[in-house]
Amino acid sequence: MPANQKENGEKEHKTGNINPSAHQYQAGDSTDRPEDQWKYREPYRIHESNETFPVKWRGGCHCGKVKYQLSREKPLASKYCHCTTCQRLHGSPFQWAAIFHKKDINFTHGHHELGWYDPSNFDISHHLPCKVSCAFCRTPIMDEGRNMILLFPTLIEGINTKEGREAFAPTCHMFYPQRVVDFRKDGLVKWSGLDNMSDLIDEDENILIKWEKDMTGEMMDEKKREVLEMNV
């Protein structure tokens, strides 16, 4: 049964790519409208069957309309965000996001079933950066930035295994002072805001490294390494 469903989904998808018939389209004006262009760009571009796309992980929303594959074994980074926007938008104590290149994802089903939300402008058109969710079951899928995507790893099959936990292990806490839950002695770096662009703090919010406006990410990274080595 699931194999069948998948086959149908993929078939539907390929047809959709060549001769788009999804609800966003009006008959006769299929591909050249600016508002339709996102469908042909990464991360939404559908990989043809003759393209090599090594599948390392698969993921999907709760209702199963949206399904995707990932071609990287590990994300570029994995982070917990404790900001109140993430808390509210996810209905959870914090957001867990794994960063991937836009080319690392291949939607095999349901890329016409996505809904967008741009929290900065309270806008639901496809405008970057934005939040992407399943338009049917509303499962948050990812945040789409201008260059990267931030996927929510709890949608990935096998994430609840040793391999899954290791591959997607988080490296830091961001916006830690806004938290609703404490993390003590978990060995992860804590930032007052975005990583490498805010103060590095300890679990009691004491500042370990003060971020200065003219500090680059690399400078902060180097200082961070010094402080962490001292504390080991």
Q: Which helix (H) or strand (E) holds 224?
A: helix 217-231
Shorter beta-carbon distance to Zn ion: residue 57 or 175: 175
Shorter beta-carbon distance to Zn ion: residue 88 or 225: 88
Q: Which helix (H) or strand (E) holds 96?
A: strand 95-101
Of 55, 128, 137, 169, the residue at the interface with Zn ion (CB under 5 A) is: 137
Least CB distance to Zn ion at residue 27 (A): 26
Is residue 207 near Zn ion by the rule CB under 5 A? no
SS (H, E, C) 98-142: EEEEHHHEEEEECCCCEEEEECCCCECCCCCCEEEEECCCCCEEE
Q: Tokens standing for 138?
A: 């509303």
Is residue 65 near Zn ion by the rule CB under 5 A? yes
Is residue 151 near Zn ion by the rule CB under 5 A? no
**Pairwise CA distance, residues 194 & 95, whole Å:** 13
Q: Tokens standing for 128?
A: 């970057």
Is residue 63 near Zn ion by the rule CB under 5 A? yes
Shorter beta-carbon distance to Zn ion: residue 33 or 138: 138
Q: Which residues in the 85-104 window bind Zn ion by CB under 5 A?
A: 86
Report whether 156 contacts 177 (CB < 8 A): no
User: Which residue stretch of 44-52, 126-134, 176-184, 208-216 sits at the interface with Zn ion (rule: CB under 5 A)?
Assistant: 126-134
Q: Which DSSP symbol is given to 156?
A: B
Shorter beta-carbon distance to Zn ion: residue 86 or 98: 86
Shorter beta-carbon distance to Zn ion: residue 106 or 163: 106
Least CB distance to Zn ion at residue 32 (A): 29
Is residue 141 near Zn ion by the rule CB under 5 A? no
- b/e per residue 127-162 (b: at least 16 CB within 10 A): eeebbbbbbbeebbbbbbeeebbbbbbebbeebeee
Is residue 83 near Zn ion by the rule CB under 5 A? yes
Candidates 162, 79, 144; CA nearest to 107 is: 144
Least CB distance to Zn ion at residue 154 (A): 14
With CB under 5 A, what is the number of residues at the site for Zn ion? 9
Shorter beta-carbon distance to Zn ion: residue 46 or 83: 83
Is residue 130 near Zn ion by the rule CB under 5 A? no
Give the interface with Zn ion as residue ranges (CB under 5 A).
61, 63, 65, 81, 83, 86, 134, 136-137
